[in-house]
Structure 1
Amino acid sequence: MDSNKVTVMLPNARRQIVRVNPNKTVLEILEEACQKHGLSSNDYDLKHHNRILDLTQMFRFAGLPNNCLLEMVEATQKRAESDVVLCFQLEDGTRPQATFNPSQTLLEALKELSPGSTASGKNPVVIYMRKEIYGDSLASTTLRSLGITGGRAMLRVVDKNPEELKTQANVYVPPAKDVDTPIDKPQVKRPTKKTEGTKPANEFVTAIKQMKQESVKKEPAEIDTKMDVDQEEEEMEADTQPKKYEWGSAGNTLTGRKVGPESAEDNSEMFDEIDEKDIEEVEAQICILGERNAVLFSLNEAQRVPDDLPDAFFELTVQDLQYLLRDLKRQTEEHNDAPLLTEKLRDLENSKRVLNKIGQYKKSVIRVQFPNRLVLQGTFSPIETIETVQEFVRNYIQDSNLKFYLFTIPPKTIIPTDKTLVEADCVPTAILHFGTDENVSGDILKAEYLEKLTTPDGAVLAASRSRGLTSIKKKQTDPQQERNQPGPSTGAIPKQPKAERFKESSAAHKPSGVVPKWFKPTGK
């Protein structure tokens, strides 16, 4: 590092090479260049790539490369030295301080602040910014050479033999391996995989699965030890394909279910396990308050998850680890394969998502939660604004002139009133919170609506029906008829078996009894 050098370009276009080391200050570089050409260092600054350098910094902290070019420019203000308040941190914890001139040496400062450290038999070492000064260097090193020309500075003083400074402390030495006693390592079967990037994850899952099987050998439950990890992973990926774009988050959905292109089909099965009698009981508890299928219910009546859960609920199983590894692998692939998009392409992609969402969801169910845990639910169009939702809420509160806003959590984000629901990511479902800066005493909602509460199950059923989703359990029908019927979320023409299509196509091209005049059959 002592062979490093920099080139200083003087005002007269001359170049001066200055040898530097990591502990040399920028001020020393400037003074050396000015001294060789008879210039005053107080009238100039050093600039590197249009950046004025701090003269008090050392070369190692100045961010300068080796063999760099420094330009000497006139200083905007002539530098003037002032007294320095110097503080020494001693080994006993005391911190004596005094005022010194930048031209004074470190030895003079030690004799004044810590006379005992300069006694015979002592080896004082002054440490400043990773620079260690000891021995004869204390008498020749001034505060100015350290870059201390004003203000305050603190230096550390230790009593240590200079030879000990060359050894590094706290060095870890790894223990020697015992060759005589070999360690029996468990043999892990490495599954064959086309991509090398997934081998460590599969080996990890395989090892954990083997340990799990060994621990439950005494249990009566049968475990299929011959199933391959790769086959299980492919089956899981085939059953649960991830969505490339997820609209909204689980916190903004009504039931905590995933929101995406397949959510319509999933929500249609929310009540499949409820028979027609239970559906009739839930329907009897629904109380429509007004337009937009408005219902009001309380979260206090919702069923809560039991607080006391068994310890086995929090233990990770092999299947859980497989899901975690699969998600991490998928996220890594998406980040690595994601293309770089310009601002216009990102805006175009966002517009496509919005249009796809508008075409997929015709209605959006919005729930507004009040501070007293009452929730007002309504149905809106995706292209309606947040201001429309506020006007809807204003019809049900006591003070119609109350200034309030709607926000989402977490974190608390106030939604602008001019945004549409699809732009605010409130499609197909969302939970908004009611907030106001005014002091409200008593109930916010009108008393007449507090007596017409709906149960939480009824609110979910009303939301499902307002979006046109089927909620009553269907009777078992012929599998052939179910296959020929169109899906719940598409209006496509049902596919027919190849044999039936062949019969219909052959019957359509079968010649009829009427023969055109121009046709002349052969053999007659």
Structure 2
Amino acid sequence: MSSLTVLCPNARRCKVPITPGKLLREVLETACLMQGYDTDHYELQFHGKHVDESLTFRLSGLPNNACLDMVLSTRKTGAMEVEIALDVQGVRKTKAFPATTTLSELLAGFSKEFQMDLSNPGEGKYASVTYLSKQWKGDAVLSSSTLKSMGIYSGGAVLRFSTCELSEEEKKAIDNLVAAVEERRKQLTQVYEQKKIENQQRIDMEARYQKELEEQQRIEEEKQRIQEEERRIQEKQRETEKNQRALNAQRMETDASVEGQNSRDQGSSEIERLEATLRILNSSLQSGRSDSLVDHLLSERGTLRTDVEMEDLTVAANTPYNPPVDFSNFKFPDKKIEVSYAVEEEKIQEEIDVSPPESRQAVIFDRILSEEKRKEMEETDEAVYETTAQDIKILQRNLKDQASGQRAFVPKRFVDAKNRERKLNAYQNTVIRFILSENRTIQAVFYSKESTNSIFDFVESMLVSNSIKYDLVFFLKEKLTRDKFKNLIDSGLAPKSNLILRFGETISKEKFGTIFKEGFLKEVTLDEADILSKEWLSVNSGFVPYNPMVHPESQGSQFKRNAEAAGNDNEGPPPQRRNVEGLPKWFKK
């Protein structure tokens, strides 16, 4: 059986059975009753176009099983009047009636116009109304059918009146049809009331949700407005703070430049202090003597102290270290070490008079590495810093040598004299570089046996006038003093050293002519200066500190000494023991 599907506003689909002669108005009424909607306020549409409800399904042009949309009507405005033209045996008269008028009432209204009773045409005859090839006949049908149910609710329509005869069977069929339609209408009315309540509840719920949504949107808009206001206030505050910081930066610009200069001076002084400390440590290690530097430089945690004055370090370097006496592993050496303990008269120091080199090879250069050399230093292979198997073997051999013997018990003065003698033999020549401002450096060569006074003589020979004041300073601001009795080895300057040549003011390249003699210094590059330094120091040899050791006694010498002692036992009585009272316990055995 054919049917039409009606899509209601509540998103429900109503499937309505259809016949070719069924009015589309009946389809709309059935769908509205099934879903609880008022027929007077809705209409049917197909693909967005209005569907004429007065047409039958055959004449509507709709396809079978079509889907229609039920939407609110803009054409229906409640109880409207329509113009009805009634054709009675070729005579047509027009009159206005409400859309809710039944066909019986319509015939009664036209009876006066035609001056005849149209409702009762005569004995055995019944009134019949035809509209669009559909016929309504019988009193029961005429009294239950309205213009609206026929699809006539606006405009005008032409109805044709006629009479007909009905048999008893036709009367019963009409009565049964009217009763069935009425029964179905009652059932649909009950469903309509229930669905109407549900629709009203849904409408109320949607209205409540809509109200809550609008309230929530209003709250969100209020929050956004407050946040926007706070953001504008914060932007104003940030702008004010930015302007204030700019003003403070302008005020502190002058102070910052002064403080920056002081901080740079302080940083450079710390670096110079550290370099001087390392220089003193290197000098102490190279000399091989025992001193008290460790007690002054290291804290209780083993870290390097930074609050030590240079005067204290100098005193500590010249103060011998007195370890606690430990005779637990004391033994006499295999060979006798002849040491003269006679107190010699102190020799009177004499001025050092050593002829200087024929040429000091004085040059000046910029101590800036070239781009190629800098890249070469940066691209050093990391394998250089890795410990290889050969390094482990050398370390093991050194530790084995240290464990195989003990340091000889000899005076420190004797060790210092030996180390000084070895340095004099190893370091014959010395190169000194004088560091100036703006990365400028002066290099000169000396004999290691020359006195420190020769350094000052060389500097004064470069200056234009002897009235120019200057200082020779180590990196930790320790000044080099003029001394005619100390050579360069005793002063810790051999074989290479850097001294800061400091004047009262910073010397730029333009002022060099006012300080140094013109043509006295030769301008070279850093690489050329390194080559001159290597050539002058090529006559030097390596310095090995003097380390007197006592090696363990071999097994053969022990057997020999035991045999000699056993042979001497038969020669005479054993020697008498001396009085050992007052001697240490280890010496009484």
- Which structure: greater helix fraction? 2
After TM superposition, the score normalised by the length of structure 2 is: 0.26
After TM superposition, the score normalised by the length of structure 1 is: 0.29
